[in-house]
């Protein structure tokens, strides 16, 4: 199932659509595919950070796509998701925080989905391979960190953002593994919140699978407690959630 950009994102204006899914053949996608459609194309190779600041607005206006298959159309944006994740990193229990560079984790949470400003939120149902998704994201981060930020403050901030994004992507350090788990628990929290606010009319069971891939025991405990809350909620409705799509 491939949704077009208009269905899965709400970009700022009609001429700034995120061309990612059905619109551009997978291997043809470049940051240019999106930039060429923008009425206010950000200036490159300048010492001003403003073009980058404006690109970040797209994270506020692009919705997380996974919920829209369940008719949750006014749901969270990508930056909503990254904001709560960044706060969660600051609440790491002592058994984790004693082993982690927490400020780096907080930065990683704020940066990890930045490429979606141009790439959009690609979900497993979009038919785009992991490798292709990661190619688009890496090219977008190069565009942001080099072409937009390369001359800002000597390029140091751009280099740091690019490095932290790569660390998350490689998922080898404890910090990166922790932030990957935080990415998952943030989704589980949101799943329960949408089910509650829709008073049991929306069954988001399929997202519970994400929780089973959490690795660190401390975050697994947060997930288990959240799933307990969820079970209590469904018990209170007298309904039994099932793992099937609404449509
Ligand atoms: Zn994320």
| Per-domain residue ranges of the chain | 41-238
Say what the pLDDT of residue 221 is: 98
237 Cα to the center of ligand 1, angstroms: 30
Report whether 79 contacts 98 (CB < 8 A): no
Which of these, 197, 180, 149, 160, lies nearest to 53 by C-alpha position?
149
What are the residue ranges of helices labelled H in the chain? Answer: 5-8, 31-35, 50-61, 78-90, 94-97, 102-111, 116-119, 130-142, 156-170, 174-197, 208-211, 217-237
Query: What separation in Å is there between the alpha carbon of 69 and the centre of ligand 1?
Result: 18
pLDDT tens digit string along 70-97?
989 889 999 999 999 999 999 999 999 9
In angstroms, the Cα distances linking 40 to 54, 115, 144, 195 are 10, 18, 16, 38
The CATH number of 41-238, from 3.40.640.10, 1.10.10.10, 3.40.50.720, 1.10.3210.10, is 1.10.3210.10
Q: How high is the pLDDT of residue 127? A: 87
Other Cβ atoms closer than 10 A to 130: 9
Q: How far is the CA of 179 from the centre of ligand 1 (A)?
A: 9
Distance in Å, CA 152 to ligand 1 centroid:
26
User: Cβ of 177: how many Cβ atoms within 10 Å?
Assistant: 16
Per-residue pLDDT tens over the stretch 102-135: 999 999 999 999 999 999 988 888 889 999 999 9
Euclidean distance between the first and the last CA atom of the chain, given in angstroms as a whole number: 12
Cα-trace Rg, the chain: 19
Mean pLDDT score across all residues of the chain: 89
Write down the pLDDT at residue 244.
39
With beta carbons less than 8 A apart as the criterion, state whether 64 and 121 touch. yes
Q: What pLDDT is stored for residue 56 in this prediction?
A: 98
Phi, psi of 70 (to 5 degrees): -110, 25
Q: Is 46 left (phi over 0), alpha (psi -120 to 50) or beta?
A: beta
Q: Flag residues of the chain having pLDDT under 70.
A: 1-25, 243-247
How far away, in angstroms, is 113 Cα from ligand 1 center? 5
- pLDDT value at residue 24: 57
80 C-alpha vs ligand 1 centroid, how far in Å? 10
């Amino acid at each position: 199932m491939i949704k077009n950009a208009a269905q899965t994102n709400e970009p700022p204006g009609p001429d700034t659509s995120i061309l990612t899914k059905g619109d551009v053949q997978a291997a043809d996608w470049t940051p240019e595919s999106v930039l060429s459609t923008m009425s206010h194309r950000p200036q490159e190779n300048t010492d001003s950070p403003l073009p980058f600041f404006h690109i970040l607005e797209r994270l506020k206006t692009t919705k997380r796509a996974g919920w829209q298959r369940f008719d949750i159309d006014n749901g969270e944006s990508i930056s909503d998701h990254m904001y709560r994740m960044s706060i969660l990193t600051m609440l790491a229990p002592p058994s984790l925080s004693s082993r982690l560079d927490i400020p780096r984790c907080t930065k990683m949470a704020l940066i990890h989905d930045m490429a979606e400003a141009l790439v959009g939120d690609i979900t497993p149902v979009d038919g785009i391979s992991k490798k292709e998704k990661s190619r688009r994201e890496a090219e977008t981060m190069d565009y942001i960190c080099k072409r937009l930020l390369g001359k800002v403050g000597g390029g140091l901030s751009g280099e740091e953002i690019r490095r932290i994004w790569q660390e998350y992507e490689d998922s080898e350090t404890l910090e990166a593994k922790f932030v990957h788990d935080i990415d998952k628990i943030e989704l589980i929290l949101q799943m329960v919140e949408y089910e509650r606010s829709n008073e049991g009319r929306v069954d988001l069971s399929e997202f519970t699978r994400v929780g089973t891939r959490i690795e660190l025991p401390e975050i697994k405990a947060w997930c288990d407690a959240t799933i307990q809350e969820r079970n209590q909620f469904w018990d209170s409705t007298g309904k039994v959630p099932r793992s099937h799509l609404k449509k």
